[in-house]
Structure 1
């Protein structure tokens, strides 16, 4: 994905294990997720990969749920120490889209682990507050700049104009405003223990 559209420092917090990595190549960022399927699954892997294509656009739009899920997989497979803290939990982790569900299935991420991780995901109220802040920020942009952005969109010279604008806004908002605050930081051991307890209680 285009480097200029991604919060690289935040992306590195998610993709920091052996099975989930991110690196620069020219003007792009390359994300790599590794999961070894069973031999019987290799034949269907190609068709399953096509269902993951929308995740690229999610990342460009600032939806980092698949990156967090990649981090969870690394935690699940022992890439991190037990005292490693989890990165910021993106909004809506408990409400996965079809492509995200395909990603979870393809990577074979523990569903119980996702459920307990989602406890720290932003609430709908916080998301609404975030949207109001975005509206206020846009309304305060110079009129000339707004006209230029609209012109780029209409002329199709800036397919990522909206995304670039969102990136600028997100740089003005501390990460803590994008995620649920007031929650205790959790280690890999905490998450794994809670996931086991959740599975046992079902």
Structure 2
């Protein structure tokens, strides 16, 4: 096998309709296409579709992997759940960029193996499944993936050492499984993550898992807001409704303010410079 390329696309918020599936079929006669996915692999030749354009038009997540070390992850979220200004505090240049497409935000991550070593260590099937929960976490107001993407941008020292970090989300020292897979996929330096975690407070949003606290919060919601949420659920907008309610829970319980900066962020202290983070990471590595 001289070359191997794997493409995986997922429709999460809305299934594909018949016309969309037919349009996608024109891009590949071999791809496996369902109402929620498009997957294909190539040993010879190349895929003739444009992955970014496909995400903008049809899909909410995309993963690309090759045996020569190139990897790409693309996520699409409604702007009402994650705005461009917030995302671009962290993702503002290749290989971790954020941009607007219609009413959606596109996050595009691109990782190259500098050694160009062929990678056959894991089965690609299911890799996107292990990462895609990051999208739900972002939609719910958890910005740890954005901060990890910022670390990805600066880990090679391409930017000035005196530049300071963006707002530090809580919980960098206790990443979810999806966030760990996200960091591994992008090859983010574990020592750099550990260095950044030293300035990150514990994640207080874990309280959302406490049924009693969540029930108390729900009981205090205005009846009109509950009616609006139920209407959205019945109209098939459940994922967005859930994300918005999680964001509101984080705000109402003191986890985050209107700017997206958490109380735990402020407690983390003065923003560190890129040079300071890289020095701590090097110290941990040694």
Range into which the TM-score falls when normalised by the shorter chain: 0.7 to 0.9
Between 189-198 and 9-18, report the one with greater CA deviation: 9-18
Offset at residue 144 of structure 1 (A)? 2.0
Offset at residue 199 of structure 1 (A)? 2.0
- Which of residues 90, 94, 100 is equivalent to 1:24? 100
Aligned pair count reads 198
- Which of residues 215, 218, 226 is equivalent to 1:146? 226
Structure 2, unaligned runs of 5 or more: 1-76
Q: Within 1, Cα distance between the matches of 2:225 and 2:231? A: 10
Partner of 2:108, secondary structure, is strand
Partner of 1:58, secondary structure, is helix
Partner of 1:32, secondary structure, is strand
Q: Are 2:84 and 2:100, in contact at CA under 8 Å, matched by a contact in 1?
A: no
Offset at residue 141 of structure 1 (A)? 4.5
Q: Within 2, Cα distance between the matches of 1:163 and 1:126? A: 14
2:173 counterpart of 1:87: no
2:156 counterpart of 1:70: no
Partner of 1:67, secondary structure, is helix
* Cα deviation code 1:64-91 (max 9, x no counterpart): 2121111101111234211111111222
Structure with more strand by fraction: 2
Q: Within 2, Cα distance between the matches of 1:68 and 1:150? A: 33
Q: Within 2, Cα distance between the matches of 1:74 and 1:63? A: 19
Match in the other structure for 2:179: 100
Cα 1:95/1:43, change in 2 over 3 Å:
closer
Cα 1:119/1:79, change in 2 over 3 Å:
same
Offset at residue 157 of structure 1 (A)? 3.1
Cα 1:141/1:4, change in 2 over 3 Å:
same
* Cα deviation code 1:69-121 (max 9, x no counterpart): 11101111234211111111222111122222222222111111111101121
Cα 1:136/1:80, change in 2 over 3 Å:
farther
Cα 1:40/1:81, change in 2 over 3 Å:
same
Match in the other structure for 2:20: none
Measured on the aligned residues, the alpha-carbon RMSD in Å equals 3.2
Rg comparison, structure with higher value: 2
Structure 1, unaligned runs of 5 or more: none
Structure with larger RCO (C-alpha < 8 A, sep 6+): 1
Taking structure 2 as the reference length, the TM-score comes to 0.59
2:87 counterpart of 1:7: no
Offset at residue 40 of structure 1 (A)? 0.5
Partner of 2:136, secondary structure, is helix
For 1:28-177, what aligned pairs fall within 5 Å after superposition?
28-37=104-113, 38-41=116-119, 46-47=124-125, 48-124=127-203, 141-153=221-233, 155-159=234-238, 160-167=240-247, 169=251, 172=258, 175-177=261-263
